[in-house]
Structure 1
Amino acid sequence: MKKIFLLGLLFLGFHSQAQEVKVTTKDNDLKLPTLPYYNFGRGVGLTSPDSIFQLNLRFRMQNRVSYIQNEGEDASYDGQIRRLRLRFDGYVGNPKFLYALQLSFAPGDVGEIEEGENINIIRDAVVYYRPNKTWSFSFGQTKLPGNRQRVNSSGGLQLTDRTINNAKFTIDRDFGFQAYYLNEYADKFSYNVKTAVSTGEGRNWTKSNDNGVALTGKLEILPLGAFTKDGVYYEGDIAREKTPKVMLSGGFQQNNHARRTQGQLGQDLFEQRTMKAVFADAMLKYNGWAFMSSYMSRTAKDPITFNPEDVTGFNYVYTGSGFDYQASYLFPTNYEIIGRFSTQKVHQDIETLAPNAKQYSLGVTKYLWEHAFKLQGEVTLDDLDYFDGTNKQNWYVRFQVEIGI
């Protein structure tokens, strides 16, 4: 009798476990409802059985080697992990409340560790509230709604780096509040309005309490409708738009009482300065062709600041303006050729301290899995004109591998 009772318990236990296992013969998928649900869409996804939270995990890295020839210097080469990023995003409690975390680990991302300075591992740490498809509100540290190339991920670039103008005039990441009004349609006139109120000191700033604020506003116009697969957020027409798609955008930021030479970036100033930044972008994609152009500028009164303890020491706001032009074609074999030309003119207040510049770049990219896995080759020439009439030409040849999920 005991044996029969034990067999009955085993049968019931087996039967209850079998009820928890769902076998879908269509795709031969075995799922356990008591465990999280995994997917492999954008990265690796994890959703709890009761849908209370969702987590997506992604990584990417860029490995590169460059041959560098700077005028007046011996030729050299540089091999490095340019970027190594780990990203988490998802929601908690309700899909309307989202989060995004991004950490960086490459030396170029973190920067040199100095005594008393923060380690710049945290790139993004932001919470979003999206009540509907139109409105989006965020609080935390992330990219400001700035120039197009900066808003694009470095993993979505066609060449191995952004332009010389982005390097000097971008407004980059900051901590604060942002509000977006998104009004996009696939095949008719669309527009987006993006605003931000932030500290103005850049990411991970804790050196001192702040007495300034940065105000940013941006308008994006998509006269022919939205790009396929969010195509405004990556360079090149890898989606091969079947009809022409155009984006025009413009923005402005006033950074009050900024403490760094480039607002959210750069070295510390000896005195605070208020800076104004203007940026405008244009993008066209169609059938493998892509064209981009941008303008960026920064202005400030009395941009040069002096060390009160040593008048020979000084630092200055990098003021001036520049234009970028970029064109590419993606062949059916997923090889792409890219050309880019940039001009940069510094403001007369600092023309004795920094050169005017032109940059010429030519690149070839092989997309193995869109921008997530690609091989890039590039040659770039920098032509520098100094105030005293001298000229320098520096160039490099580079090979880079980008891989991620």
Structure 2
Amino acid sequence: MKKLILLLFLMTGVVVFAQVSIQQNKQDNDLKLSALPYYSFGKGIGITSPDSLFQMNIRFRIQNRVSYINNEDEPAGYDGQIRRLRLRFDGYVGSPKFLYAVQLSFAPGDVGEIKDGENLNIIRDAVVFYRPNKNWNLSFGQTKLPGNRQRVNSSGGLQLTDRSINNTKFTIDRDFGFQVHNLNEFQNSFSYNFKGALSTGEGRNITGNADSGIAVTTKVELFPFGAFSRDGTYFEGDIVREQKPKFMLSGAFQQNNNAKRTQGQLGNDLFQERTMKSVLIDAMFKYNGWAAMSSYMSRSTSKNAITINPLDNSQVSYAFVGEGFDYQLSYNFPSNYEFIGRFSNQKVGDDIKTLAPNAKQYSIGVTKYIWEHAFKVQSELTFDTLHYYNGDKRNNWFLRFQIEIGI
């Protein structure tokens, strides 16, 4: 049945593409790729062919950071790294209705450790779009799923230097498959978006070791007072200083059937497959420099989250189940200095409470926007507390300085 659904989805996509004729269009390709948000104050460097049948925009961004890390029972130390180095190409071929986007990553933290027999993991996004009009986006390829707000936002559009501990554990991130987005956004009246995806459930750049299930993701976004200015849903903080209150409420659900990794699309391998269900709820408010965000994220499994190596009962691997809440508040002064505070609370599921700690995270930060999110200087102080099942408690903290720049 699952294979039949996937086949019908594929056939539908082929028919839709076949019925559209490619026509010359000389309009500017100022596109909203809802499946691949990428904050840009400008439009990068653009190249358009003389007959306007081809367009390519080139963009890059860099995150350089240095951190002082002090973890309990470990020697304190400094860490300096290129956190992100991204290169993106997007545009259209034949007509602005047929689009593409490619994003590559080169920083060690993005690529990951190179292991024998595994892929070099530089491809983050490689996706083609069909956009028949401003209300519909259809895509095929690898890109972000319509998941939690903080993950859907580009890492270049964050207020603090990184995402929360709950995003790290419960996000659904990138996958390969089909997506359909229906967008109905209006500046000063009730707006809404519907988004869905049918994907492999295995994460990005996976070859071999395929599982027998697929992942189904659905999402609804509501804007009671109208859409945010300049697609403000896709970046944190009120850098545009909304003149009227803006609010968004969204909910997403995913069922990842027969997943083989500890976090569905992410994590290490499990010894047995597990079907995972994720619930992701977000709220965002912005007005006159103030911004507030709140998120709920959870993951559960159809069976016990712990899997055991059939060849060695002493080896276990577990799906990370549980739930978490994030709360974030900020104010951006007219001088474009912004003060941010965030609190995260994470509770692991009963299946794994003896194997993983509950956690709380407290963060404060100051950001100076030089050229909005495209060029900014950030500082952050974060304190973590880990509470273990046996009653032990561990405190960790870090102080970080980061510069982001891109086009």
Aligned partners of 1:38 and 1:44 also within 8 Å: no
What is aligned with 2:244?
A: 243
Aligned-residue offset at 1:73: 1.2
- Secondary structure of the equivalent of 1:130? strand
Aligned partners of 1:248 and 1:283 also within 8 Å: yes
What is aligned with 1:337?
A: 339
What is aligned with 2:262?
A: 261
- Secondary structure of the equivalent of 1:149? helix
- Whole-angstrom CA distance in 1 between matches of 2:313 and 2:54: 57
352, 355, 361: which one aligns with 1:359: 361
Aligned-residue offset at 1:287: 0.4
Counterparts of 1:112-191 in structure 2 under 5 Å? 112-191=113-192
What is aligned with 1:349?
A: 351
What is aligned with 2:87?
A: 86
- Secondary structure of the equivalent of 2:172? coil
- Whole-angstrom CA distance in 2 between matches of 1:276 and 1:210: 16
What is aligned with 1:7?
A: none
- Higher relative contact order (CA closer than 8 Å, sequence separation 6+): 2
- Whole-angstrom CA distance in 1 between matches of 2:82 and 2:278: 31
- Whole-angstrom CA distance in 2 between matches of 1:239 and 1:368: 13
The question of 1:404 aligning with 2:406 is answered yes
What is aligned with 1:369?
A: 371
Which range moved further: 304-313 or 239-248? 304-313
Aligned-residue offset at 1:41: 3.7
Q: Quickly say closer, same or farther: Cα 1:381–1:41, change in 2 above 3 A.
A: closer
Aligned partners of 1:44 and 1:56 also within 8 Å: yes
- Whole-angstrom CA distance in 1 between matches of 2:359 and 2:29: 50
Aligned-residue offset at 1:209: 3.3
TM-score after normalising by structure 1: 0.90
- Whole-angstrom CA distance in 2 between matches of 1:209 and 1:307: 19
315, 320, 323: which one aligns with 1:321: 323
Matched AA of 2:329 = A
TM-score after normalising by structure 2: 0.89
The question of 1:305 aligning with 2:307 is answered yes
* Cα shift readout 1:283-337 (whole Å, capped 9, x = no counterpart): 0000000000000000012111111111111100000000000000001111000
Q: Quickly say closer, same or farther: Cα 1:109–1:245, change in 2 above 3 A.
A: same
Aligned-residue offset at 1:208: 2.2
Matched AA of 2:316 = F
- Secondary structure of the equivalent of 1:127? strand
What is aligned with 2:390?
A: 388
Structure label with greater radius of gyration: 1
What is aligned with 1:43?
A: 44
- Secondary structure of the equivalent of 1:389? coil
Aligned partners of 1:38 and 1:45 also within 8 Å: no
The question of 1:379 aligning with 2:381 is answered yes
- Whole-angstrom CA distance in 2 between matches of 1:374 and 1:341: 23
* Cα shift readout 1:355-400 (whole Å, capped 9, x = no counterpart): 0000000000000100010000000000110000010000000000
What is aligned with 2:68?
A: 67
- Whole-angstrom CA distance in 1 between matches of 2:113 and 2:210: 23
- Whole-angstrom CA distance in 1 between matches of 2:149 and 2:379: 23
Aligned partners of 1:38 and 1:47 also within 8 Å: no
- Secondary structure of the equivalent of 1:236? coil
- Whole-angstrom CA distance in 1 between matches of 2:209 and 2:92: 32
- Whole-angstrom CA distance in 2 between matches of 1:271 and 1:203: 20
Matched AA of 2:343 = F
Aligned-residue offset at 1:210: 3.5
What is aligned with 1:232?
A: 233
Aligned-residue offset at 1:82: 0.4
- Secondary structure of the equivalent of 1:56? strand
- Whole-angstrom CA distance in 1 between matches of 2:290 and 2:249: 17
What is aligned with 1:24?
A: none
Aligned length: 369
What is aligned with 1:55?
A: 56
What is aligned with 1:96?
A: 97
- Whole-angstrom CA distance in 1 between matches of 2:50 and 2:252: 43
- Secondary structure of the equivalent of 1:73? coil
Aligned partners of 2:29 and 2:96 also within 8 Å: no
- Whole-angstrom CA distance in 2 between matches of 1:221 and 1:120: 35
Matched AA of 2:105 = S
Aligned-residue offset at 1:223: 0.6
What are structure 2's unaligned runs of at least 5 residues?
1-27, 31-40
Matched AA of 1:302 = N
What are structure 1's unaligned runs of at least 5 residues?
1-36
- Whole-angstrom CA distance in 2 between matches of 1:387 and 1:38: 55
* Cα shift readout 1:221-279 (whole Å, capped 9, x = no counterpart): 00100100100000000010000000000010000000100000000111110000000
Aligned partners of 2:97 and 2:131 also within 8 Å: yes
The question of 1:107 aligning with 2:108 is answered yes
- Whole-angstrom CA distance in 2 between matches of 1:63 and 1:382: 23
- Whole-angstrom CA distance in 1 between matches of 2:337 and 2:166: 27
Aligned partners of 1:38 and 1:46 also within 8 Å: no
Matched AA of 2:176 = F
- Secondary structure of the equivalent of 2:132? coil
* Cα shift readout 1:49-97 (whole Å, capped 9, x = no counterpart): 1110110000001000000000111111100000000000000001000
Q: Identity of aligned pairs, percent?
A: 71
- Secondary structure of the equivalent of 1:208? coil
What is aligned with 2:277?
A: 276
Counterparts of 1:213-224 in structure 2 under 5 Å? 213-224=214-225
Aligned-residue offset at 1:38: 12
Matched AA of 2:264 = G
- Whole-angstrom CA distance in 1 between matches of 2:173 and 2:271: 22
- Whole-angstrom CA distance in 2 between matches of 1:181 and 1:273: 31
